[in-house]
Amino acid sequence: MTAQPIDGTALSTQIRAEVAQRAAALTARGRQPGLAVVLVGDDPASQVYVRNKVKACHDAGVHSVFEKHDATLTEAELLARVAALNADPRIHGILVQMPLPQHINPHKVIEAIATHKDVDGYSVLSAGELMTGLPGFRPCTPYGCMKLIASTGIDLRGKHAVVVGRSNTVGKPMALLLLQANATVTICHSATSDIGHHTRQADVVVVAVGRRNVLRADMVKPGAVVIDVGMNRNDEGKLCGDVDFKSVAQVAGFITPVPGGVGPMTITMLLVNTIEAAERNAG
Ligand code: NAP
């Protein structure tokens, strides 16, 4: 392997230590930061995610409220819970775990979260703030990817960055963050005819598709930074990303592993956003 691995676990540990210090400073002023995590239904993956988020809060000294509701909860009942959390002075960030049961409109729920508590950064207003360069909450996964890229020491100004995937939660905000950092950005998606044509020219490639081996060694420019957002299972049932890690690591300059790359950073940036929300609230 020639690429240098980007250790998301180590970077997370470092950022979470800073978060814990900021949380302790707020708590000392009687303003402990608080995050509410709301889960509706029994999706097994969601249960693991929310458990990890609540534990991360606990470890960092952030107050957390975990609300678990049956899948039969109505949309009106969920909106009422969000309204109550919006009004709760101990709560600075609200996260409603997706996906929601079919009978609940996720957009309605996301838009019901007060913008100053939208620590996931998924609302239309938060997306607009990102688009226009205004301060606001950046979606946690792409925000974490930016920290991982920064940790390589590479200056993005004038670099060509290619994002594979255009979801509202990962691909699109990722592209906007890279643009904000003065990279020249290309976005590829399922209708892109030759993804390799674009990625071979890229100094930075971020892959967020949700399919194994979307990026192979012959699609990567030597020395490029490769960030793998994907979470898939390989034939042995083990967690793997979208990048053919073994072969791409022979060509890239830096690469994130799966697990241990983007995954830990997503929760870390949720904590960062929650602390920022609490700090703004405390003045
Ligand atoms: P998503 O909403 O399903 O979006 C996937 C994107 O990939 C879409 O834009 C789709 O294009 C594109 N795509 C699908 N097949 C493609 C192909 N063959 N070639 C090129 N592009 C293709 O997924 P997501 O929420 O962005 O998540 C992507 C992956 O990241 C998933 O594996 C997810 O589990 C993982 N993830 C990880 C974390 C973490 O913390 N590690 C956080 C979030 C997501 P179209 O728009 O044209 O359909």
**Burial degree of 72 (CB within 10 A; 0-12, 13-18, 19+):** exposed
Catalytic residue list contains 55: no
> Quick one: average pLDDT of 71-95?
98
pLDDT at 174: 98
- Residue pair 230/206 in contact (Cβ under 8 Å)? The answer is no
Residue 32 CA to ligand 1 center (angstroms) comes to 35
Q: What is the pTM of this model?
A: 0.97
Active site residue 97: yes
Q: Within a 13 Å sphere around the CA of 183, how many CA atoms are in the beta-carbon half? A: 27
For residue range 40-55, what is the model confidence (pLDDT) as tens digits?
999 999 999 999 999 9
- Tens digits of residue pLDDT in 98-141: 999 999 999 999 999 999 999 999 999 999 999 999 999 999 99
Instruction: Decide if 244 contacts 229 (C-beta within 8 A).
Output: no
* Structural tokens at position 282: 């405390």
Report the separation in Å between the CA atom of 166 and the middle of ligand 1, taken as the mean of its atom positions. 7
Catalytic residue of the set 97, 118, 172, 242: 97
Give the residue range(s) of CATH 3.40.50.720 domains in the chain. 139-263
CATH number for 139-263: choose from 3.40.50.720, 1.25.40.20, 1.10.1740.10, 3.40.50.1240: 3.40.50.720
Residue nearest to atom 39 of ligand 1 (CA): 263
What is the atom index within ligand 1 of the atom nearest the CA of 170? 26
Three-state DSSP class for 119? Answer: coil
Whether 214 and 243 have beta carbons less than 8 Å apart is answered as yes
Task: Kindly indicate the confidence band of residue 240, based on its pLDDT and cuts at 50, 70 and 90.
Answer: very high
What's the confidence (pLDDT) of residue 134? 97
Question: How confident is the model over 57-63, as a mean pLDDT?
Answer: 98
120, 163, 167, best to mutate for ligand 1 pocket (most atoms within 8 Å of CB): 167
Is the minimum distance from the CB of 165 to ligand 1 under 6 angstroms?
yes
Q: Coil, helix or strand for 278?
A: helix
Percent of the chain with pLDDT over 90: 99
Give start-end residues of each CATH 3.40.50.10860 domain in the chain.
30-114
- Spot the catalytic one: 118, 120, 228, 244: 120
In this prediction, residues 169-188 reach a mean pLDDT of 98
Does the beta carbon of 170 lie inside 6 Å of ligand 1? yes
d(CA 206, CA 215): 10
Predicted pLDDT at 1: 63
Tokens 């976005």 locate to: 187
Closest approach atom of ligand 1 to CA 232: 32
CATH architecture of 30-114: 3-Layer(aba) Sandwich (3.40)
Tokens of 26: 């707020």
Cα 30 to ligand 1 centroid, rounded to whole Å: 41
Please state the rounded mean pLDDT for residues 150-169: 98
Cβ(117) – ligand 1 distance below 6 Å: no
Count the Cβ atoms, other than its own, within 10 Å of residue 243. 32
For residue 269, the CA-to-ligand 1 centroid distance in Å is 19
Q: Residue 171 CA: which ligand 1 atom is closest?
A: 26
Residue 243 gets which letter from DSSP?
A: B
Active site residue 14: no
- Sheet hosting strand 4-5, strand order edge to edge: 4-5, 254-255, 225-228, 204-207, 160-164, 184-188
Q: Is 193 in the pocket of ligand 1 (CB under 6 A)?
A: no
